[in-house]
Amino acid sequence: MPIATVETIWRNGALIPWADAQVHVLSHALHYGTSVFEGIRVYETPAGPRSFRLRDHIRRLIDSARIYDLVIPFDEDALVAGCDAVVAANGLRSAYIRPIAMVGYGEIGVAPLKPEPVETFIAAFPWGAYLGETAREQGVDVCVSSWNRLAPNTAPTGAKAAGNYLTSFLISREAKKRGYAEGIGLDIHGRLSEGAGENLFLFKDGRLMTPPAASSILQGITRDAVIELARREGIEVVEQSLPREALYLCDEAFLTGTAAEITPIRSVDDKPTRAAGPGEITRLLQDRFFGLFEGGTEDEWGWLQPVSGLADATV
């Protein structure tokens, strides 16, 4: 999906014109993937624009940088304020926010002892349904990829780092070339891991199951929200290692992520799930999740944050 150009972007603490957000071709991150990033949605709610779990995302950004010994020269409050500022400056009532901290131009060696400067950008722009406008209602067709997710102790999958997404590129590219909406990656033991940019849930025999952190997943913030919402509804949620065939035998399956939100899986490797799309549990969780932004679900957790600089809706 092309990026919709807006007027301004936040760079190192200041708003600059979108076209001026450039880096040197010898920036370290371009050569070695040394950047960490986040994806955050802002929703137009009945009360006005609200960011979803903004501080949780910013904390994960800082934690991802910590794993790689990258020093972001802004604290949590400054980054949160930067996200609000760029959304407000562009007059966006709903948006996708992309903060990124990257090792810039300085040294060309693989591992400089002091990886500086770390440049920080925050972009915000409109972005619709990641896996297609009909995906939420009809579900998507996916396949199991021939590419595995990262092995333990090769690269930390708990960090949302740019280099990790080369495997995501291979998984998703292979799936799309074969005519599927997305690919599912297995871990090195042949167990289910996650999609190219989404976490995975299966529902069978009254239990909602999802692969654990040990299966080389990024522990998604939307994944965590879905687990909370499911438990609130009295649904048993189990984080467990799952074999590939669980995809073919489940009653329902869906993908979660900031971009994907909650996207039902219609079929896997041309085998329809028993629900052949969004089943009862998937629809319930979609209703509760999107209800946070549409007014039907009470925000018991404080996940929604007003966007500073944008007026709330008038009552």
Half-sphere exposure of 27 (CA within 13 A, CB side): 17
Q: What are phi and psi of 183, to 5 degrees?
A: -115, 150
CA angle 159, 164, 169 (to 5 degrees): 140
Of 114, 160, 176, 271, which residue is the catalytic one?
160
- 97 phi-psi bin (left φ>0, alpha ψ -120 to 50, beta other): beta
Three-state secondary structure along the chain? CCCCCCCEEEECCEEEEHHHCCCCCCCHHHHHCCEEECCEEEEEECCEEEEECHHHHHHHHHHHHHHCCCCCCCCHHHHHHHHHHHHHHCCCCCEEEEEEEEECCCCCCCCCCCCCCEEEEEEEECCCCCCCCCHHHHCEEEEEEEEECCCCCCCCCCCCEHHHHHHHHHHHHHHHHCCCCEEEEECCCCEEEEECCCEEEEEECCEEEECCHHHCCCCCHHHHHHHHHHHHCCCEEEECCCECCHHHHCCEEEEEECCCEEEEEEEECCEECCCCCCCHHHHHHHHHHHHHHHCCCCCCCCCEEECCCCCCCCC
- Residue 176 annotated as catalytic: no
Could you list the active site residues? 160
